[in-house]
Amino acid sequence: MSDKKEMLLPNLSVQQLEYLLAAANNKTRAAAAQQLGVTPSALTQGLAELERRVGLTLFERKGRSTVLRPQAKEVLEYARRVVAETKDLTYWAQAQREGTSGQIRFGAIDAIAVHHRASEIREFHESFPHVDLRLTVAPSGALLEALLEGSLDLVACVEPEVVSEDLISEVFLEEPLLIYAPKENATKSNQNWGPWVSFPQGSHTRRIIASALAALGVSYEVTAESNQPEVLAEMVRLGLGWTVLPPAQANTGIDPLIPIKKKPLTKRRLVLIRRSSAPLDPAMQILVNYLKKTEP
């Protein structure tokens, strides 16, 4: 190991380095002081303190003027770098505080990302181009797992039956769920509804549908599954079964489905969820306001 003592770093301030740059860029100390908005004596004292802390004489007299010595060149270049990077840091921190930059890992179910809030997500992205918005579209269960694992910062999904203590949940939209049937079966009594095509076992929406049908005494025999509402709608068109969907996802395409009755079977609540341990930074708060359609 080396016997040399660790060199102590000089305690330089950004203000002292700004003084050095101003003195180098102006013909007189008075002009440099005016540029910085300080008195000439304050500038002179600051430069003297900088020289003392660096341990080098940076200026010399030339007639009635004070000029930089050649050995001050390295210190001057250092000052330029530090002051420039400090300005960059200041602008970055201000942007973070104001929500005009940063990164948001946002997860949403397709009904939200494609239908209910597509225009709001697009408007947020266009209004805050320096915010790195990373959108993941997936089923509610997968989104919540990613949120708990720390892979996502904010999730918009179907309200889970139980919300973990590690999460903060807020309802921002209620969505009706209507019954759709193949055209030849649309007039059947509820005792003859089905068979059903639905979301996979474990789906939050499937749980809501099953509970509502059970309350009516309707058998819920599922013969085909898909995570994609468009696929379920197509199965109904093909006569493979009945389904329950939000109107926004059943009414798409050239052959939109028509519900067997206008009254919804039930409703599902859509929520915004984030980890309770993660602070709601300004950029995310603005996105939340867009999704809730509230004023920032």
Residue 72 DSSP label: G
What pLDDT band is residue 5 in, cutting at 50, 70 and 90? low
| Whole-number pLDDT of residue 296 | 46
| Whole-number pLDDT of residue 7 | 74
pLDDT at 269 over 80: yes
Whether residue 203 sits in one domain with residue 132: no
Task: Mark which of 43, 75, 96 sits at the end of a domain.
Answer: 96
Whether residue 120 sits in one domain with residue 148: yes
Share of the chain above pLDDT 70, in %: 96
Inter-helix orientation angle 118-127/282-292, to 10°: 150
- β-pair partners for 62: 65
Domain assignment of residue 129, given as a range: 106-162+278-292
Whether residue 282 sits in one domain with residue 135: yes
| Whole-number pLDDT of residue 52 | 94
Whether residue 206 sits in one domain with residue 147: no
Q: Assess if residue 249 is contained within a domain.
A: yes
Whether residue 287 sits in one domain with residue 252: no
Q: Assess if residue 169 is contained within a domain.
A: no
| Whole-number pLDDT of residue 186 | 66
Whether residue 223 sits in one domain with residue 264: yes
Q: Assess if residue 110 is contained within a domain.
A: yes
Task: Mark which of 96, 121, 141 sits at the end of a domain.
Answer: 96
Q: Assess if residue 9 is contained within a domain.
A: no
Whether residue 259 sits in one domain with residue 237: yes
Number of compact structural domains in the chain: 3
Whether residue 223 sits in one domain with residue 89: no
pLDDT at 295 over 70: no
Residue 289 sits at the vertex; the CA angle it makes with 118 and 163, to the nearest 5 degrees, is 90
Q: Assess if residue 2 is contained within a domain.
A: no
pLDDT digits (tens, 9 = 90+) for 194-226: 999 999 999 999 999 999 999 999 999 999 999
Give which of 177, 181, 155, 187 is closest to 239, Cα–Cα: 181
| Whole-number pLDDT of residue 188 | 65
CA–CA separation, 225 and 198 (whole Å): 5
pTM (predicted TM-score): 0.71
Q: Assess if residue 115 is contained within a domain.
A: yes
Q: Assess if residue 8 is contained within a domain.
A: no
pLDDT digits (tens, 9 = 90+) for 127-152: 999 899 999 999 999 999 999 888 89
pLDDT digits (tens, 9 = 90+) for 14-72: 999 999 999 998 988 999 999 999 999 999 999 999 999 999 999 888 877 788 899 88
Mean pLDDT of 229-235: 94
**49 contact partners, CB below 8 Å, separation of at least 6:** 16
Whether residue 64 sits in one domain with residue 205: no
Whether residue 92 sits in one domain with residue 237: no
> Which of the residue ranges 125-139, 226-240, 255-269, 274-288 would you say has the lowest mean pLDDT?
274-288
Instruction: Write down the mean pLDDT value for the chain.
Output: 90
Whether residue 179 sits in one domain with residue 147: no
pLDDT at 75 over 80: yes
Range 141-148 contact pairs with CB under 8 angstroms and sequence separation of 24 or more: 141/202, 141/203, 141/204, 143/107, 143/108, 143/109, 144/273, 146/107, 147/107, 147/273, 147/274, 147/275, 148/275
The CATH code of the domain that includes 214 is 3.40.190.10
For residue 224, give the amino acid letter. Answer: A
Whether residue 132 sits in one domain with residue 88: no
Q: Assess if residue 251 is contained within a domain.
A: yes
pLDDT digits (tens, 9 = 90+) for 248-266: 999 877 888 999 999 999 9
